[in-house]
Amino acid sequence: MKLKDKIKKFAAEHEAVWQFVKFTIISSIAGVTEITSYTLLNSLILKSMNTQPFHWWIFHYSGGVAGGLGTMIAFLVSTTLAQIVSFVTNRKKTFDANNNVVFSAIMYTVMVLVIICLQTYTGPLMVVAIDKLINNPGISGTLGKLIWMFLSFVIIFPMNKFVIMRRKKLPEAAEAAPQE
């Protein structure tokens, strides 16, 4: 039996495990997208804006170790790019969702906005706390970002599988109908 056949057999016998494997791979790709875009934006393109404080609603970037306006923009852009990669790919490739795409997109957006609000509120506090331990703002920012990426991963998989990207059972007649 070829490796490809073994993988197909495993996937058919262990659907949830296989979904988790695919979700992990796709999340890793989205994570690389997020970290790369965040690092490029925060450290190179928007670096001069990091001393400019940014305060709005729950978003508080003091311009010091926690970063400023440039960090906020880098955070939002990198997170948005990663979530687009994750949603589009996971919807069909991981969960083979057949529920309403508009419902999925709205629910996914709400979930991501809640995560962003939590991350935005706690992120700068986390970065300052980490920086007190290691005294390196660049590494502290990246570690804070990685911690929240992991927490997001833990939240998003069950939400996608059981709420947002469900696969509806089709009526048996529709499943058994011959395809032309």
Q: What is the overall mean pLDDT for the chain? A: 86
The reported pLDDT for the residue numbered 132 is: 93
The reported pLDDT for the residue numbered 55 is: 81
Confidence label for 102 from pLDDT (cuts 50, 70 and 90): very high
Phi, psi (5° rounding) for residue 67?
Answer: 90, 175
Nearest to 36 by CA among 170, 169, 146, 159: 146
Q: Does residue 177 register a pLDDT over 60?
A: no
Q: What average pLDDT does range 57-73 have in this prediction?
A: 77
Model confidence pLDDT, tens digit, residues 133-163: 999 887 888 898 889 888 988 999 999 999 9
What residues does each domain of the chain span?
13-166
Nearest to 71 by CA among 153, 149, 152, 138: 138
Instruction: Compute the distance between CA of residue 120 and CA of residue 99 in angstroms, rounded to an integer.
Output: 31
pTM of the full structure = 0.75
Model confidence pLDDT, tens digit, residues 25-39: 999 999 899 989 988
State the distance between the two ends of the chain, measured CA to CA, in whole angstroms. Answer: 31
Per the CB < 8 A criterion, the answer to whether 156 and 127 are in contact is no
Contacts of 78 (CB under 8 A, 6+ apart): 33, 34, 35, 37, 38, 41
Q: Within 10 A of 180 (CB to CB), how many other CB atoms are there?
A: 3
Model confidence pLDDT, tens digit, residues 156-168: 999 999 999 988 8
And the tokens for 173?
């007649």
And the tokens for 149?
């990426």
Work out the widest C-alpha separation in the chain, in whole angstroms. 65
